[in-house]
Amino acid sequence: MALPVIERANAFLDLFCDPATSVEDRRRIALLVGLSFVGIAFLTLFAIIAYVQGNMPLALVDITTAIILAINVLDAKRRHRFEVNIRVGSVFVACLFIYLYVSGGISRTAFVWYYTYPLITCYLLGSYMGGITSTLMLLPVLALTVFQPVHPFFAQYSPNFVTRFIAAYLVVVLFSYMFERSRESNREELRAINKTLEKLVAERTSDLVVTNEKLGMEVERRKQAHEALQLSQEVLLTILDSIDATIYVSDMQTYEILFMNKFMQEAFGGDWTGEKCWQVFRNETGPCSNCSNPQLVGTRNRPTGVYSWEGENPITGRWYMNYDRAIKWTDGRMVRIEIAFDVTEYRHTEERLRQAQKMESIGTLAGGIAHDFNNLLSIIIGNMELALGDIPKEDKIHKNLEEIKTAGFRAKEIVAQLLSFSRKSNVEYKPHALVPIIQDAVKFLRAAIPTSISLHLNCRIKAVTVLAEPTQLHQVMMNLCTNASQAMEYTGGKITIELDQVTLDEQVTMGGTPLPAGEYVQLRISDNGPGIEDDIIPHIFDPYFTTKTIGKGSGMGLAVVHGIVKNHNGTIVVDSNRGEGTVFTIHFPVAADEPVFAREPVRELLTGDEKILYVDDEALLVRMGRQQLQKLGYEVAAFQRPEEALEAFAAQPDGFDLVITDMTMPQMNGVALGDKIRRIKADTPIVICSGHSDIIGPDNAVGMGFAAFLMKPVVLHDLAQAVRKVLDESAREPSAGSRPDKDRAAGPSPGSQIQSYWPV
């Protein structure tokens, strides 16, 4: 629809100008013709009105001007001399406006037409001629003001009105001049580009390919220049229309609002010009205590510059970055202008960044703790297994040592949870029966919480499977129930654990997380303790947040719970009323797979008599590792420094069947040591151990050339299995030689010779 209208408009313009006329000149002609038709229509209407009112001179002038404009349009159509027609039209329009201003026009509103004259003439005549012509239009105004003729024909204007009229008119003249001058500059630039393009085409006709490329580049430049012109016009219009910032002006003495921009009116629900700023914008009963007015003026009441401050507005609830400055108002008084930008989202982003940095620091701390703690656990569990092997089971000390060993395994699981929470390790979630996990946790909790607190399990389901990591779910139960028991430590109470299965027919959102429709297990842990304050509930899952006294809590318990639940694709919601207790509701999606069951570990220890090079930077681990391997029957050369181990291997590369090395060691880590050993003897099987490392793990150890990866703490059974498996696989490889099978009875082989560098 738009295209035929444009074509008809262009066809109509062809009546007044040649087809070769430039686009800019066609626009001027279109404006001249359009204004002429509008002027003829209005002038005829005004002539009729003036005639009816008995104002014959005005009616005569109106109809005469309308006739002249019509003749001017017909002349433009006949001779296509639009430059002359534009000047004629501008002159007669000027005469008409002067006459209207002098006579007052209809209802004394003729002065309004004066404001349109600069816009019309600057566009039709150009910036210079239009600016001069528009400025000269003030001469009749000044003459009428100076001479003030007393006659019914002449309109009477007050000096105050004339002053404001002239000021406003000059602003319009200045704006029209600058706007048209900008357009002319852009047109001159386009003309210059056109000339340059023509020159390039004329000079490079001998080389068609190069000329085409240059032409394409120049066309692109012209396109960009045209787009820049359009963009500048759009930006100017956008700025004039609205600015996306709250801007207002208020009197510094009376606090009266003098101006509000459109954006601020929308933000505060209306135009409050004339009201008190402290009442409208801050809901105060008097001037704000932190008002910036004193900072905006200095000695002799002179402005001090921009004063910036940030704060939350109590009306909108948004955070703003405010820039205040003292300026002189149009009447000379000192006012405050404030420009404020909404920075709420920036603050939220900054808060999320701080939270991410906090979690990153937790991850770094977790990695360091895991490495050191797993080394300690390796020493504890390893020596405990050695001690258990030397004490009969019927001895009462044996049972105590078993308890210590069990506690060591529990500590190992806690370290794994800490790494999982900080995303330092990958947890494999498998189908597990949930009810036995919860029942096992309840058994453990009965012995852990005080007898003044009763513990009830209400299980409404018999069997249900979820994708989970049992140790983590155990940790969820421990943390939530321990928190509940600590809240009722002095008063006593009851903890109720309810397990049920629910069906969601459609997607719902719980705890800010959407749950798709399907089957879910609902775990509810409730207590009748003192409850949680409303202002604390939004922060209970934040890391380090705690209301406990020093020494009773780190603020990580509920953060760990939240992380575990999220990693299980579940949701956790808390509901609490002060004095009525607290309820934590957790939903886990039901898995369709059959649950896996833990197999009973094989208790038989696999032994051998091969020679093993053992390296670890911890002296206690070196001594313990040597004892474990010797107990399995192997000959062991153990070193605390990797450099010494490398020298020993280089001295007798064929004297070792296997190398076991720690990962994190000073001067040379396990990866570097393994690379240097393989340079000496490429087919040497190497097992690498680590308490925690970002470099190597069970997923990439084989890809990096290692035969196996052992995660500390390593129990004796796992060590025996791994060593035997690696040695057997190495013996089956052709490059391993034809070494005969060895007797794998426990203990060192009789008569074995140990070289002088083998510590014993």
Give pLDDT tens digits for 19-60.
Answer: 656 666 667 677 777 777 777 887 788 788 878 878 787 788
**Could you report how far apart the first and last alpha carbons of the chain are, in Å?**
99
CB-count burial class (<10 Å; 0-12, 13-18, 19+) for 502? exposed
The pLDDT of 547-562, averaged and rounded, is 63
Cβ burial of 328 (10 Å; 0-12, 13-18, 19+) is exposed
Q: What is the pLDDT of residues 389-416, one digit of tens each?
A: 778 777 767 777 777 777 777 676 666 6
Mean of the pLDDT values across residues 459-485?
A: 86
CA distance 747 to 760: 14
Q: Which residue has the tokens 């459109």?
A: 262
Q: Which of 46-55, 206-215, 527-536, 593-602 has the lowest mean pLDDT?
A: 593-602
**Residues 214-228, mean pLDDT to the nearest whole number:** 87
Across the range 218-231, mean pLDDT stands at 85
pLDDT of 103: 76
Q: Check: CB of residue 59 under 8 Å from CB of residue 96.
A: no
Label residue 749 by pLDDT band (50, 70, 90).
very low
Which residue matches tokens 């607190």?
A: 453
So what's the pLDDT on residue 234?
A: 67
- Helical packing angle, 716-732 and 619-631, nearest 10°: 70
**Distant-in-sequence, close-in-space partners of 518: CB < 8 Å, separation ≥ 6:** 503, 504, 589, 590
Q: Following DSSP, what letter does each residue of 563-603 receive, concatenated?
A: HHHHHTT-EEEEEEETTTEEEEEEEEEPP-SPPP-PPPPP-
Q: Which helix (DSSP H) or strand (DSSP E) does residue 199 occupy?
A: helix 159-203
CA distance linking residue 292 with residue 553, whole number of Å = 43
Q: What is the pTM of this model?
A: 0.41
- Reported as a single tens digit per residue, the pLDDT across 265-321 is 888 888 888 989 998 888 888 898 889 888 888 877 788 889 888 888 888 888 999
* Mean pLDDT score of the chain: 79
Share of residues in the chain with pLDDT > 70 (%): 80
Tell me the pLDDT band of 482, cut-offs 50, 70 and 90: confident
- Report, as an integer, the average pLDDT of 747-752: 32
